[in-house]
Amino acid sequence: MNKLTHFDESGQAHMVNVGDKASTQRIAIATGKISMLPDTFKMVEAGSHKKGDVLGIARIAGIQASKKTSDLIPLCHPLALTHVSLEFQINANDNSITCQVKAETTGPTGVEMEALTAVQVALLTIYDMCKAVDRGMVMGDVKLLEKSGGKSGEWRAL
Amino acid sequence: MNKLTHFDESGQAHMVNVGDKASTQRIAIATGKISMLPDTFKMVEAGSHKKGDVLGIARIAGIQASKKTSDLIPLCHPLALTHVSLEFQINANDNSITCQVKAETTGPTGVEMEALTAVQVALLTIYDMCKAVDRGMVMGDVKLLEKSGGKSGEWRAL
Amino acid sequence: MNKLTHFDESGQAHMVNVGDKASTQRIAIATGKISMLPDTFKMVEAGSHKKGDVLGIARIAGIQASKKTSDLIPLCHPLALTHVSLEFQINANDNSITCQVKAETTGPTGVEMEALTAVQVALLTIYDMCKAVDRGMVMGDVKLLEKSGGKSGEWRAL
Amino acid sequence: MNKLTHFDESGQAHMVNVGDKASTQRIAIATGKISMLPDTFKMVEAGSHKKGDVLGIARIAGIQASKKTSDLIPLCHPLALTHVSLEFQINANDNSITCQVKAETTGPTGVEMEALTAVQVALLTIYDMCKAVDRGMVMGDVKLLEKSGGKSGEWRAL
Amino acid sequence: MNKLTHFDESGQAHMVNVGDKASTQRIAIATGKISMLPDTFKMVEAGSHKKGDVLGIARIAGIQASKKTSDLIPLCHPLALTHVSLEFQINANDNSITCQVKAETTGPTGVEMEALTAVQVALLTIYDMCKAVDRGMVMGDVKLLEKSGGKSGEWRAL
Amino acid sequence: MNKLTHFDESGQAHMVNVGDKASTQRIAIATGKISMLPDTFKMVEAGSHKKGDVLGIARIAGIQASKKTSDLIPLCHPLALTHVSLEFQINANDNSITCQVKAETTGPTGVEMEALTAVQVALLTIYDMCKAVDRGMVMGDVKLLEKSGGKSGEWRAL
């Protein structure tokens, strides 16, 4: 059984020592979605090409949140992101919006948490902007899709 | 069709004027869960009563995140939380952890976003602490369970 | 000659005591502008109604910055904004963009700094987004237009 | 016509990928000024050599703000500043204070925004400290003076 | 034996519910000191009346830190400070600097932590500015001197 | 007599230029303690192995604070910590808790302030969690124990 690296041998939390890890290019891609009522979905969809641009604002919120990851997640290392982008997909079949984030850096630690944090905050921002008309929206399927770089190399969700 | 209140009549985003809203007691309860491999689940479960306390750290991260809500969500009003608590439920049947957050304030705006933000960051923190052994964890079912206070009064998820 | 209230009698800086000031509705309106090359101006103008929405992003940056005012300006009191909105005016005659911000709260201190901070950060965000094509842009005419509330009452720029 | 690099081909904002850019020494110098009434000017001037040190506090505020640039400007990359300094010039001829900032780093992105942000927040801090006696102060002429480093090399304002 | 109120009955941390507590005027005074070598002391003392104003900068750092208290201390409630001031006393007899902070608010929770946080960060700032000449400085005697307001009323250190 | 490097030749504060300093591995170890009443001490001691885990929460607060050092201390450079760990020692002989922090980075500046900031905030967090039962706790003996790396090399407290 592998161990949880965020704890030392006595079981105490620490910020893992990455001083000896090689600096490599790191990429992570994460995704998540928010499901809503058909009427709410239509409003968001409308805003994306005329006024009331919910997704444009959620995109900015996600980018800014990725920069706050080490402030939000206690044992995350601070790092200098070299790239963050968010794409939204509008799913008319089930009235949901999918958010996919790609984050990159060059350094000793990965950017999985930065990508996932951007997804979560982008979804929360959509929720915030639509909650006046639909409090029952549900956020889910938030997960890492793939990552590369570092000693563990490439990983892809099944 | 209701309108999205975060946009003015010309479709531009603004921080909604709450200057005329009554100051009332506001409560919101939100929930979410993270699903993991059986071995990961056992490690988290073990930590909750001896060493490597994943959930204790996620609880602190969630409380701290709730205080950062207006910094994370662009159109949220800053507000003075009067109470935040997180409860974790360990679900051995499906190797998942459920997080439920209760947030309260007395003021002109609700605390739904504060409760939801705490849930999301608590789940992200669990992911961070376990990702070395299980990158495929999935976060979902993040939603508001109930809220009270304000002009719209009580609301409960179906 | 009036004295600078942010210093005590011995000349030391302090956060002025507002504990005895009445809680009233406070409004402040501030403005500022950024001047650019004709080609840059055309790009910003184009973005405001199709893609590359510079002003939409600057608006969000301004709203978020207004919430960070007391973190940026050392002797500012933290306060709970009840409303923030930004309007941009596109001036084709001199290739400039004017930003006007209205901020409101109910409390013992005014929101002049919140309005001015939002103007400055919105202008900086426009600069950032256009600097790849025009490093010589100039920001100016940043000032308070009017304020109301508090013991000093109404004030209007000449 | 050059394009605005903060938008991708579909017109969506992103944090530009700088992963392939060379790490070079980057320097930026920016300036700005605040104009005030003669009596206000005399107070600031007096404080700079005895008590009520307005400019000393504005200098600290500017340095701290430069470190928050990527938190304030949505699409700015986080970076590790290696040097920031502010100089104030007291202009008795027109009752204004000029602020000049030099910022430096070694990395893949420039520090123009860090220098400009320090200027804006230093000016705002002067405004804040003097507004009790002079609400009509005006901030302006905020611009980049020169920058060096990176692929685009040296640039100087005309 | 009293119980630690930051834990609920099951021993889990939470942000204590203060929704039912009366809003009263709260004052807290805290103190602390830093001891240094005679030569370091002379430099700080000199700076306080000519150039190199260590204490002026430490004062600003302390005021700004008091506003970040709820961000630094996990279970602290966010609150709107109405007053913060720092006084430094120069102790030539033992080459130390004493810092005393007074913090005030009107609300349901006390400001002891805000006063203590300002003391600690002011002392750290003095350490930072003098460490190039004296790494062996020691900070100590950091404690609450008195507090008033709230259900527990007045308290004074013996 | 050495000079205070945080001031330039005219006595003005600046963020020292470290652009020419070599990037080396930097380690700093700092310590501090908090003294309390015997009953308070017993509660903290009890929590460390069953419920009400004061030290576990103080550890997280210290790690998170170390990441905010450059935001708290005005002239500190932002840097990417590669490791932070906190150890608490329970001193039954004098009813005190000692906190020792080790911080590391690879870069042009040291991490003394990061280690000391973590100590101070960990002690403040212990104070916060126990203050309901013991307002008279005293924090002290906060100092650097050793540091290595950089031009000045190794240093150890006597």
Query: D143 - beta bridge partners?
Result: D31
The upper half-sphere exposure of residue E158, i.e. CA atoms within 13 Å in the direction of its Cβ, equals 5
CB contact under 8 A, F132 and E60: no
pLDDT score, position B158: 85
Amino acid at F70: S
Checking if the pLDDT of C1 tops 50, the result is no
Cα distance between residue A5 and residue D11, in whole Å? 41
Chain A residue nearest residue D108, CA to CA: A82
Q: How confident is the model at residue D158 (pLDDT cuts 50, 70, 90)?
A: confident
State how far residue D39 is from chain E, nearest Cα, in angstroms: 24
Residues of chain E contacting D61 with CB distance shorter than 8 Å: 60
**C·E CB contacts under 8 A:** 51
pLDDT score, position E11: 86
Low-confidence ranges of chain B (pLDDT < 50): 1
pLDDT score, position E158: 85
| Sign, CA torsion D56/E120/F70/F141 | positive
Chain D residue nearest residue F70, CA to CA: D67
Residues of chain D contacting E57 with CB distance shorter than 8 Å: 56, 60
* A53, C53 contact by CB (below 8 A): yes
Q: Report the residue from F56, F61, F64 with minimal CB separation from B56.
A: F56
CB contact under 8 A, B17 and C83: yes
Cα distance between residue B64 and residue C144, in whole Å? 35
Give catalytic residues of F, as residue numbers: 128
pLDDT score, position B1: 39
Q: What is the mean pLDDT of residues E44-63?
A: 86
**Average pLDDT over all residues of chain E:** 94
Give catalytic residues of A, as residue numbers: 128
State how far residue E139 is from chain F, nearest Cα, in angstroms: 5
State how far residue F87 is from chain A, nearest Cα, in angstroms: 9
Place of tokens 């700079």: D48
* F54, F47 contact by CB (below 8 A): yes
F24-148: CATH superfamily: Molybdopterin cofactor biosynthesis C (MoaC) domain (3.30.70.640)
Query: C105 - beta bridge partners?
Result: C26, C81
pLDDT score, position E51: 61
Going from the first residue of chain A to its last (158 residues), give the mean pLDDT of each consecutive group of 10, the final group possibly shorter.
77 93 96 97 81 89 98 97 97 98 96 98 97 96 97 92
List all chains that touch chain E, counting a touch as 3 or more CB pairs closer than 8 Å.
B, C, D, F
Q: H helices within B16-111, ranges in order?
A: 38-47, 54-66, 69-72
Cα angle, residue C46 at apex, residues C43 and C49 outer, rounded to 5°: 150
CB contact under 8 A, E4 and F120: no
Residues of chain A contacting B133 with CB distance shorter than 8 Å: 1-4
Chain F residue nearest residue B60, CA to CA: F57
Q: What is the mean pLDDT of residues D103-114?
A: 97
Contacts of F48 (CB under 8 A, 6+ apart): F54, F55, F56, F88, F90
Please state the residue numbers annotated as binding site of F for substrate.
75-77, 113-114
Quick one: fold of B38-148?
Alpha-Beta Plaits (3.30.70)
* E43, F1 contact by CB (below 8 A): yes
* E25, C18 contact by CB (below 8 A): no
Checking if the pLDDT of D85 tops 50, the result is yes
DSSP-derived letter for residue B82 is: S
Instruction: Calculate what percentage of chain C has a pLDDT beyond 70.
Output: 96
Q: Report the residue from C66, C80, C104 with minimal CB separation from B80.
A: C80
CB contact under 8 A, E63 and C75: yes
Cα distance between residue F145 and residue D133, in whole Å? 49
Structure token pair of residue B34: 């993270």
List pLDDT tens digits, range E86-113.
999 999 999 999 999 999 999 999 999 9
Name the CA dihedral angle for E126, E132, E138, E142, rounded to a multiple of 10 degrees: 20
State how far residue B50 is from chain E, nearest Cα, in angstroms: 14
pLDDT score, position F106: 95
pLDDT score, position C9: 84
pLDDT score, position F50: 54
Give the C-alpha distances (Å, rounded to integers) separating B85 from B116, E17, E78: 12, 9, 15
Q: How confident is the model at residue C128 (pLDDT cuts 50, 70, 90)?
A: very high
Q: How confident is the model at residue C5 (pLDDT cuts 50, 70, 90)?
A: confident
Residues of chain E contacting F74 with CB distance shorter than 8 Å: 57, 60-61, 125
Backbone conformation region of residue E141, classed left if phi is above 0, alpha if psi is from -120 to 50, else beta: left
Three-state secondary structure of chain D = CCCCCCECCCCCECECCCCCCCCEEEEEEEEEEEECCHHHHHHHHHHCCCCCCHHHHHHHHHHHHHCCHHHHCCCCCCCCCCEEEEEEEEECCCCEEEEEEEEEEEECCCCHHHHHHHHHHHHHHHHHHHCCCCCCCEEEEEEEEEEECCCCCCEECC
Low-confidence ranges of chain F (pLDDT < 70): 1-2, 48-51
Q: How confident is the model at residue E48 (pLDDT cuts 50, 70, 90)?
A: low
CB contact under 8 A, B131 and A112: yes
**Average pLDDT over all residues of chain D:** 94
Chain E residue nearest residue C19, CA to CA: E82
List all chains that touch chain F, counting a touch as 3 or more CB pairs closer than 8 Å.
A, B, D, E
Q: Report the residue from D67, D104, D106 with minimal CB separation from F78.
A: D67
Cα distance between residue A89 and residue A99, in whole Å? 7
* D26, D79 contact by CB (below 8 A): no
Residues of chain F contacting E113 with CB distance shorter than 8 Å: 124, 127-128, 131
Checking if the pLDDT of C51 tops 70, the result is no
**Which of C113, C139, C156 to mutate to test binding with chain D, by most D CBs within 10 Å of its CB?**
C139
Structure token pair of residue C126: 């426009």
CB contact under 8 A, F71 and D64: yes
Quick one: fold of D24-146?
Alpha-Beta Plaits (3.30.70)
Specify the CATH class of C24-149 in words. Answer: alpha beta
Contacts of F93 (CB under 8 A, 6+ apart): none
Specify the CATH class of A28-156 in words. Answer: alpha beta
CB contact under 8 A, A80 and D15: no
Cα distance between residue D55 and residue C74, in whole Å? 12
**Which of A6, A8, A14 to mutate to test binding with chain F, by most F CBs within 10 Å of its CB?**
A14
* D135, C2 contact by CB (below 8 A): no
- The ranges assigned to domains in chain F are 24-148
Q: What is the mean pLDDT of residues C86-108?
A: 97
pLDDT score, position D9: 84
Quick one: fold of E33-148?
Alpha-Beta Plaits (3.30.70)
pLDDT score, position A50: 54
Is D76 annotated as ligand-binding?
yes
Q: Is the ipTM of this complex over 0.90?
A: yes
List pLDDT tens digits, range C6-48.
998 888 999 999 999 999 999 999 999 999 999 999 999 987 6
pLDDT score, position E49: 54
- Give the DSSP H or E segment for A60: helix A54-66
List all chains that touch chain C, counting a touch as 3 or more CB pairs closer than 8 Å.
A, B, D, E
Give catalytic residues of D, as residue numbers: 128
Name the CA dihedral angle for D109, D110, D112, D118, rounded to a multiple of 10 degrees: 70
Checking if the pLDDT of E152 tops 90, the result is no
pLDDT score, position D132: 92
Q: How confident is the model at residue E50 (pLDDT cuts 50, 70, 90)?
A: low
Which of E136, B128, A78 shows the shortest CA–CA distance to F68? A78
Checking if the pLDDT of C141 tops 70, the result is yes
CB contact under 8 A, A129 and B57: no
Q: How confident is the model at residue D50 (pLDDT cuts 50, 70, 90)?
A: low
State how far residue E59 is from chain C, nearest Cα, in angstroms: 8
Q: What are phi and psi of F103, to 5 degrees?
A: -125, 145
Chain C residue nearest residue E68, CA to CA: C71
CB contact under 8 A, B82 and E107: no
DSSP-derived letter for residue A15 is: B
Chain E residue nearest residue C20, CA to CA: E82
Q: What is the mean pLDDT of residues C141-154?
A: 95
**E·F CB contacts under 8 A:** 175
